[in-house]
Copies of this chain bind each other. A is one copy, B any other.
């Protein structure tokens, strides 16, 4: 149930993620690392800007999340799970417990999961735009030591970054309305940069930034740049 050197193992394993040649291989790396610690259920998703529906895209679900042998229906279940919503309110990983009684399923965020039910650890992944994704590891009897928590945080981050590069890098939405440059400019606006700062960062002139913003507003059919942020997040052009 325990790894003798979770830290060392996590560091070594983390390196393998970048070189994995397939999604299958990435899943194997996660599975093989977590299994000795009691984790045999996995969920990895990218985050949306919408706190009401925090999941943008589900990269991977595996394991008996329902405790009844049925498979998770991602859109009917994972998106409604309060644990997956709680991740929008935290700044570090947390343990959770799911039990089931006569009144249905009951979730709790806990420091030390124990007893009956499925337990797990959820790890948020942050980046320049804030919450970018999350990973849940689940199981019936899991290792909840501090070293295991840190080790899984490392694995979670490496796995998420590798899966996102693989799944999102190649097939960004084809039906996107904004060009790559427009999206980039708007993303910088969304995180608070001024025109002159964005120009500096991108090595362009302020006039060019103004022009991109004008085109963005026209293309999205909005009157203000603030509204463009709002619309772009809703349509998935930019993430929060």
* B-binding residues in A (CB < 8 A): 5-8, 10-12, 14-15, 49-52, 88-89, 91-92, 126-131, 146-147, 150-151, 154, 161, 175-176, 189-194, 196-198, 200-201, 222-227, 229-231, 233-236, 239-240
Contact = CB atoms under 8 A, between A and B. Distances in A.
B197 A51 contact: yes
Contacts of A231: 130, 240
A189 B146 CA distance: 34
The majority secondary structure among interface residues of chain A is helix
A225 to B, nearest CB: 6
B190 A147 contact: no
Contact of A225 (B7, B49, B88, B226): B226
A130 to B, nearest CB: 5
A145 to B, nearest CB: 10
A133 to B, nearest CB: 12
A235 B191 contact: no
Contacts of A225: 226
Contact of A240 (B5, B49, B201): B49
